[in-house]
Amino acid sequence: MSSAVDVAYIGEGPTDAAVARTLIRAVGGRPGQDFVTPRRGRGKDTLDQRLEGLNRLARIGQVVLVLRDLDNDEPCPGALVGRLIANQAQNLCLRIPVRSVETWLLADRKAFADAIGVAEGRINHDPETLLRPKAHIVDLARPSRKQVLRRELVPASGSGIREGPLLAAWLSRFAEHIWNPGRAARSGRSQSLSRALFRLEQIVAEQCVAT
C-alpha cells in the first residue's frame, strides 16, 4: 500500500490552516508543511507575495494547497487567479473561497447550527452570497443558547470591534473537529468548495499513481 501524499498548505490565517488540514485529510492526503501558523505578517498581501515561491516548490514535486479569499478583490475566482499567478504548476492547488473560507464552514449547515447553538433555519441558505460572512456568524452567535460561546464570539457592546476575542479560535476548532467538507460540498451551497475538493482530490490521486 502506498503511503499518503504530503500536502503543504497556506492561507491567510489560522482558520484557513485548520480548513486546509481537514480538506487534505478528506481527500486521503496527509497535512504536510504548515506555511501559515508559524509565520508573522499573515493575511492576503503576504500570501500573494509568496505565491511565486510556492509555485516553484510545486514545480519540483511538492503538492501545495493555497486558500486565498475572494473577498471583493475580483468579480470571480478565475479573474483573481489570473491576476495572482501565471503558469500555475500542476501541483499547486490554488483555490478561492467565495467570498471567504467561512462560507465553506457555513455550508455544513446543520453541524454549524448545532455547534453555534442556534436553529438550523437561522443559517444563510446561500452563504456564497454573503458580503461579510464573519459578520453573519457573529450575528448568529448573539442569540446562541450557549452563554460561554456568546462571550467568545460576540464583541462587547460599545467596544468598536466587529468580532469577539475567540472567534478565529472557535472557527478553527469547528473546521478541524466538526466540519465535514464532503457533506458541505454535497449540500450544493458552495460551488467553490465543491471545485476545491474535486481538484485537490485529483492532484492527490495523480501523485499516488506517480509514486
The verdict on 23 and 75 lying in the same domain is yes
The verdict on 91 and 16 lying in the same domain is yes
The verdict on 98 and 195 lying in the same domain is yes
Question: Model confidence over 118-174: pLDDT tens digits?
Answer: 999 999 999 999 999 999 999 999 999 999 999 999 999 888 899 999 999 999 999
Name the percent of the chain lying above pLDDT 90: 90
The verdict on 13 and 60 lying in the same domain is yes
Phi and psi at residue 16, in whole multiples of 5°? -60, -40
Q: Where are the beta strands (DSSP E) in the chain?
A: 6-10, 30-34, 63-67, 92-95
The verdict on 99 and 112 lying in the same domain is no
The verdict on 163 and 121 lying in the same domain is yes
The verdict on 114 and 92 lying in the same domain is no
Residue 115's alpha-carbon distances to 31, 82, 100, 178, 205, in angstroms, are 25, 37, 20, 8, 32
The verdict on 86 and 45 lying in the same domain is yes
Say whether the peptide bond before residue 162 is cis (omega within 30 degrees of 0). no
Give the CATH number of the domain where residue 29 resides.
3.40.50
Structural domain for 95, as ranges: 6-103+190-210
User: How far does the chain reach from its first CA to its final CA, in angstroms?
Assistant: 11
Has residue 1 been placed in a domain? Answer: no
Q: Which residues pair with 6 in a beta bridge?
A: 30
